[in-house]
């Protein structure tokens, strides 16, 4: 059997014979002696004899043969070689690299892609890893070629080259006629863009986490201007070091007037900063359009785009995304470049992700409105924040003493009850003084607290082992005229309910589903021993509810589940629903039958 292979890479034989002498590749077998091909063809032809189809294929990758003679015993192997030769041109057009390696990782054949990637005249005969510049193997298999030959199964891994290029390898063993794997077919796919995008997404996520780590406890002693400066510094660091952007503008949306107020800018023209912009689809540039529609906008050619208003001097393209907080536009983030079409779809994705992190950080720091409350109001808020949890500790200690002392002297018991009343009065007095010292007019329009009549004067118990959660409950709900008390665990919560005093009760009890000593379901059952109706709202930190507490509580009539950290609107809505439900039950009970 004779095949005519495609032209290969060498026009002269390895022994220096002139190109005019044709070469025949002989894949030998059981009839070598009878055939004696060299004697039959004479000295005018060079015969190179091999006993392995894989070696034959490797030689065809390096030399030019006029034909291939195959012993009849090797017909099946020869057919495989023939099919591979027919597919040679197809493989050469593949975007991925394809090579045949021997057991020493030497390249016996390749489709030419590696030659293009590494600008080499020849790769056949070279060590695979040497061609890639001795790259770092990142796994998951750190010896992919050895594993494939030893296990006789395909394996894969990723390598990183010194020029920060990444490739994914897939190695499949190729057996000889005896079934023993001696070679590997390795495909090489360039995954640099994919890996770098993953790394950038991870960096953006980390940058966003760092912005979000600026919890109120970290900035409690900073005034408004210091908080803004701190946030600006972190945003600028992330934009420049992670996103590699130097021209930045952030504007905040006044929800009442629709005006977009500059919060920070780098590289923008002074006239652009002083320009008044409003959330409108027309006559307010790209920034106004994005704020009005909530849609990102990529301006590839700033000179011709009708929406674009000059921001950075010489800018030729811009990218603007909305700052979204719970799907509400609170501002805009704009970046610009002196090059046309400078921003890709990936840049848009990265900036939108980062924009959401910025919005969350702004919300955490309460920068959505220009907070300029009077000094007296700030002082009252600080006093209440400092006193709230310690007063709760006094309440907790008092009820514990009352419960643990079975034979408590009536006078001491009365004194303890007085302590409970006085401790509760302290917080009420602070609230009333604060309302007098910090009138509504002390706050700008954007900082006004919405009136919630259903919350005014309601007594709420928050049960959670986390001090930050208990503190957040005070911070968020005290402003609405609620009386907040807290407990560390289920047992303490039960004592607080039991020792409220005659004809007193909590309007809402908010409990974490997993307390140090019991679940919220177990707390519900214990509280029902003290009162017929338990106005319970659950809290969860998005963890796995292995005890199915939420499901059990829902079966008992509990309807609301809050997720930490609190979202104010959801917290208020859950409390109002619970209060309304209780009012309906009271009305039904008191109605004449």
SS (H, E, C) 41-76: HCCCCEEEEECCHHHHHHHHHHCCCCEEEECHHHHH
Same domain, 179 and 231: no
CB within 8 Å of 137: residues ≥ 6 apart: 143, 144, 157, 158, 159
The answer to whether the CB of 493 falls within 8 A of the CB of 463 is yes
Same domain, 435 and 508: no
pLDDT at 211: 65
pLDDT at 113: 85
Q: Which of 12-26, 84-98, 397-411 bottoms out in mean pLDDT, i.e. has the lowest? A: 12-26
Q: How far is CA 99 from the centre of its chain?
A: 37
Same domain, 103 and 63: no
Over residues 576-584, mean pLDDT: 90
pLDDT digits (tens, 9 = 90+) for 15-36: 444 457 777 776 666 666 667 7
The answer to whether the CB of 512 falls within 8 A of the CB of 486 is no
Same domain, 347 and 419: no
Q: Which of 9-23, 302-316, 335-349 bottoms out in mean pLDDT, i.e. has the lowest? A: 9-23
Angle, CA of 36, 42 and 45, to the nearest 5°: 100
Same domain, 475 and 552: yes
Distance CA 396, CA 496 (A): 7
pLDDT at 10: 44
Is the pLDDT score of 114 beyond 60?
A: yes
Same domain, 339 and 412: no
533 versus 441: the higher-pLDDT residue is 533
CB within 8 Å of 4: residues ≥ 6 apart: 66, 67, 68
528 versus 223: the higher-pLDDT residue is 528
- Whether 405 is covered by a domain: the verdict is yes
Q: If we measure between CA atoms, which residue out of 313, 317, 310, 328 comes closest to residue 252?
A: 328
pLDDT at 334: 92
Tell me whether the omega of the peptide bond preceding residue 59 falls within 30 degrees of 0, making it cis: no
15 versus 491: the higher-pLDDT residue is 491
Confidence category of residue 4, pLDDT binned at 50, 70, 90: very low
pLDDT at 376: 45
Given 446, 463, 488, which residue is the final one in a domain? 446
Helix, strand, or coil (residue 493)? helix
- Whether 142 is covered by a domain: the verdict is yes
Confidence category of residue 5, pLDDT binned at 50, 70, 90: very low
Distance CA 561, CA 552 (A): 12
Same domain, 332 and 378: no
Q: Give the CATH number for residue 540.
A: 3.40.50.2300
Distance CA 201, CA 52 (A): 49
Same domain, 442 and 430: yes
Q: Which of 20-34, 278-292, 447-461 bottoms out in mean pLDDT, i.e. has the lowest? A: 20-34
Strands 328-337 and 248-253: antiparallel
Distance CA 534, CA 168 (A): 59
pLDDT at 370: 38
Rg of the chain's alpha carbons, rounded to an integer? Answer: 38
Same domain, 478 and 524: yes
The answer to whether the CB of 470 falls within 8 A of the CB of 392 is yes
Distance CA 541, CA 509 (A): 17
State the residue range of the domain holding 250: 202-364
Confidence category of residue 352, pLDDT binned at 50, 70, 90: confident
Question: Could you tell me the pTM of the whole model?
Answer: 0.41
Distance CA 582, CA 533 (A): 8
Distance CA 513, CA 377 (A): 35
Is the pLDDT score of 156 beyond 90?
A: yes
7 versus 338: the higher-pLDDT residue is 338
pLDDT digits (tens, 9 = 90+) for 229-261: 777 777 777 777 766 778 889 999 998 899 999
Confidence category of residue 463, pLDDT binned at 50, 70, 90: very high
- Whether 542 is covered by a domain: the verdict is yes
Same domain, 327 and 434: no
Distance CA 301, CA 342 (A): 9
Helices (H) and strands (E) in the chain, counts: 21, 21
Q: How many domains in the chain?
A: 5
Same domain, 150 and 186: yes
Q: Which of 81-85, 135-139, 146-150, 311-315 bottoms out in mean pLDDT, i.e. has the lowest? A: 81-85
The answer to whether the CB of 516 falls within 8 A of the CB of 465 is yes
- Whether 195 is covered by a domain: the verdict is no
- Whether 378 is covered by a domain: the verdict is yes
- Whether 197 is covered by a domain: the verdict is no
Q: Kindly state the helix (H) or strand (E) to which residue 589 belongs, with its residue range.
A: helix 568-590
Is the pLDDT score of 386 beyond 80?
A: no
Q: If we measure between CA atoms, which residue out of 383, 379, 367 comes closest to residue 442?
A: 379
200 versus 149: the higher-pLDDT residue is 149
- Whether 11 is covered by a domain: the verdict is yes
């Amino acid at each position: 059997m004779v095949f005519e292979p495609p032209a290969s890479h060498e026009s002269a034989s390895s022994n220096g014979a002139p190109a005019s002498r044709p070469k025949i590749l002989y894949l030998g077998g059981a009839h070598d002696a009878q055939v004696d091909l060299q004697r039959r063809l004479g000295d005018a032809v060079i015969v190179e004899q091999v006993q392995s189809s894989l070696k034959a294929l490797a030689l065809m990758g390096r030399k030019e043969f006029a034909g291939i003679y195959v012993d009849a015993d090797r017909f099946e192997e020869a057919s495989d070689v023939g099919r591979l030769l027919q597919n040679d041109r197809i493989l050469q057009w593949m975007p991925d690299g394809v090579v045949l390696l021997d057991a020493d990782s030497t390249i016996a054949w390749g489709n030419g892609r590696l030659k293009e990637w590494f600008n080499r005249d020849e790769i056949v005969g070279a060590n695979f890893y040497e061609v890639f510049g001795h790259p770092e193997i990142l796994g998951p298999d750190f010896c992919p070629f050895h594993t494939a030959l030893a296990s006789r199964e395909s394996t894969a891994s990723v390598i990183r080259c010194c020029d920060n290029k990444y490739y994914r390898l897939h190695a499949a063993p190729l057996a000889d006629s005896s079934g023993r794997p001696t070679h590997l077919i390795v495909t090489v796919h360039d995954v640099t863009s994919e890996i770098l995008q993953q790394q950038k997404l991870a960096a953006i996520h980390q940058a966003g986490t760092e912005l979000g780590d600026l919890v109120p406890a970290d900035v409690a002693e900073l005034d408004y201007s210091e908080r803004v400066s701190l946030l600006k510094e972190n945003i600028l660091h992330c934009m420049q070091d992670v996103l590699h952007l130097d021209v930045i503008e952030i504007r905040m949306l006044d929800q009442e007037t629709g005006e977009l107020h500059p919060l920070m800018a780098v590289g923008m023209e002074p006239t652009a900063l002083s320009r008044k912009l409003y959330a409108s689809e027309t006559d307010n540039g790209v920034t106004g359009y994005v704020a009005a529609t909530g849609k990102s906008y990529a301006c590839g050619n700033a000179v011709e785009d009708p929406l674009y208003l000059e921001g950075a001097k010489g800018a030729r393209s811009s990218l603007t995304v909305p700052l979204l907080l719970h799907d509400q536009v609170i501002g805009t983030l704009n970046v610009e470049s002196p090059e046309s079409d400078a921003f890709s779809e990936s840049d848009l994705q990265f900036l939108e992700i980062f924009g959401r992190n910025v919005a969350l950080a702004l919300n955490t720091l309460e920068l959505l409105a220009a907070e300029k409350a009077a000094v007296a109001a700030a002082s009252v808020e600080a006093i209440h924040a400092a006193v709230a949890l310690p007063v709760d500790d006094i309440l907790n200690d008092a009820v514990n003493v009352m419960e643990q002392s079975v034979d408590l002297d009536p006078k001491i018991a009365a004194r303890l009850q007085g302590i409970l009343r006085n401790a509760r009065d302290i917080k009420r007095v602070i609230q009333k003084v604060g309302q007098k010292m910090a009138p509504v007019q002390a706050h700008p329009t954007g900082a006004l607290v919405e009136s919630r009549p259903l919350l005014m004067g309601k007594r709420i118990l928050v049960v959670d082992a986390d001090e930050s959660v208990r503190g957040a409950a005070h911070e968020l709900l005290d402003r609405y005229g609620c009386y907040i008390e807290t407990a560390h665990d289920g047992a303490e919560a039960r004592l607080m309910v039991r020792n409220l005093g005659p004809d007193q009760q909590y309007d809402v009890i908010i409990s974490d589903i997993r307390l140090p000593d019991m679940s919220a379901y177990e707390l519900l059952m214990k509280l029902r021993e003290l009162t017929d109706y338990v106005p319970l709202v659950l809290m969860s930190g998005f963890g796995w509810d292995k005890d199915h507490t939420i499901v059990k509580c829902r079966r008992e009539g509990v309807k609301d589940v809050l997720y930490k950290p609190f979202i104010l609107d959801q917290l208020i809505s859950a409390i109002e629903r619970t209060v309304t439900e209780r009012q309906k039950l009271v009305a039904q009970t008191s109605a004449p039958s």
